[in-house]
Structure 1
Amino acid sequence: MIDFFAKTLSDFGINQDTVPLFEKYANELNLFNSAYDLVGADSVEDILKKHILDSLAAVTILKQIFEKIENPSLLRLADVGSGGGLPGIPLAIAFPEISVTLIERMSKRCAFLENSVLALGLKNVKVLNIDVEKAPQKSFEVVVFRAFRPLDEKMIKTLKKLITENGYIAAYKAKKDKIIAEMSAISEFIPSWSIKPLNVSFLGSGKEERERNLVIIPEI
């Protein structure tokens, strides 16, 4: 599995030197998963494939977004409803030059996140134990989330308060038809958005949900 994982990282343009960090993170998730209910997986291999690679499938698109932002070396990214640190921790490993804030309201999950950040030696990551509605406003150039809440009117208004001028919201979603229905219901609040398909061929041909998309919402 590690060889396959490393090959997929290379396909994503991520340095294979990061493999030990990702493997260590997967082991942390697996060790504490039953206690903290962090991810839907029952093995390190499942975590690497279904959660870490799934989080990293957006790196090419996110890199394009980062390059549009003034002073990308000072870029601040927030992962809201971070849970076990997905996608925030994988993105922090893939992009060590950016600052990543993991926003999570549950204290026990924040304890896991703090421990993981320390164990992995991630100097570019901090954890905020707070409801997303109380997170610092206009503080992030990019806000991401995965397996969090539906994109409804309240959620959009909350997230748009977090991003800076010319910032972006990037939402990890599954089926395109469901995304279109969800976004159509809030079109009056979002004048511009786009769907970017993600390559998740690493999920194989099993019964897993194999359609992944990234919804990009610019601050306008």
Structure 2
Amino acid sequence: MSDDEQFEIEPIFAAVLFEDRIDLARAYTERLAQDSDTFGLLGPRELAKIWSRHVINGALLAELVPEGATVADVGSGAGLPGIPMAIASPNSHFTLIEPMERRANWLIDVVRDLGLSNIDVVRMRAEDVERTDFDIVTARAVAALDKLLKLLTPLLRGSELKTVLAMKGSRALVEIEEATPGLKKLGYGEPEIITLGLGRAPETATVVRLRLQ
């Protein structure tokens, strides 16, 4: 992070959301800002929204994760949303799946340095992961929903919850419509669009939730 790049001041809601783990969230946010340019984690303009658009936004998904669930974060990149979710949900286990070596190594270092024992990092493409029993699979800015589900579905088939949480913005409804022909073929029920943080967070998170039947 260069001196002329604006870094967002921590919103009050961050302490409400992370509670007694706020120091971990702060440490992660500082590391993300510090290493962003070197590892290509976030665009420079995103540092002005690093808390509200990225860290808090990601942690809001933890509200949809039952305690004790196993979660795979596909295309984790900067650890979003996986690391904020894991900080906010310490009794669930998270696997960050990232194919790029330098980003995967960065994730490994951050997880180790922060002592996040409920996170594993796997440097691999999602389609090469052999495990099929994750309760929940998350993804953010990986691909359009129709292509994304083809990547995520094999990771869920052996679990009980069989749930996809795809972070989507204003195009959520459009992407659902485009993916509809393939949903039944893959075995999914009716998709839900969920808005998290409304009236509480600086920015809401829009999530498409789907469950395998």
Q: TM-score, normalised by structure 1?
A: 0.81
Match for residue 6 of structure 2? none
Aligned-pair CA distance for 1:42? 5.4
How well do the aligned residues superpose, as a CA RMSD in angstroms?
Answer: 2.0
Which residue of 27, 31, 40 maps to 2:30?
27
Map of 2:81 onto structure 1? 87
Task: For structure 2, list consecutive stretches of 5 or more residues without a partner in the other structure.
Answer: 1-8, 184-188
Query: Are 1:82 and 1:145, in contact at CA under 8 Å, matched by a contact in 2?
Result: yes
Residues 78, 143 of structure 1: 8 Å contact kept: yes
Partner of 1:142: 136
Kept after mapping to 1: 8 A contact 2:82/2:94:
yes
Q: Offset at 1:198?
A: 2.3
Identity %, equivalent residues: 28
* Structure 2 residue corresponding to 1:120, chosen from 107, 114, 130: 114
CA distance in structure 2 between the partners assigned to 1:45 and 1:119 by the alignment: 25
**TM superposition shift of 1:199:** 2.5
The Cα shift of 1:27 comes to 1.2
**Where do 5+ consecutive residues of structure 1 fail to align?**
67-71, 204-209
Out of 91, 101, 107, the residue aligned to residue 101 of structure 2 is 107
Answering whether residue 174 of structure 2 is matched by residue 181 of structure 1, we say yes
> What's the CA shift string for 1:2-47, capped at 9, x where partnerless?
4x34x3442x4x42x2111111101111111111110134586632
Kept in 1: contact 2:142–2:148 (CA 8 A): no
* Distance across 2 between alignment mates of 1:89 and 1:45: 19
Aligned counterpart, 1:131:
125
Question: Which amino acid counterpart does residue 103 of structure 1 have in structure 2?
Answer: I
State how far apart, in whole Å, the 2-side matches of 1:58 and 1:41 are.
24
Once residues 53 and 171 of structure 1 are traced to their aligned partners in structure 2, the CA distance between those partners, rounded to angstroms, is 16
Quick one: distance in 2 between partners of 1:181 and 1:43? 25
Aligned length: 197
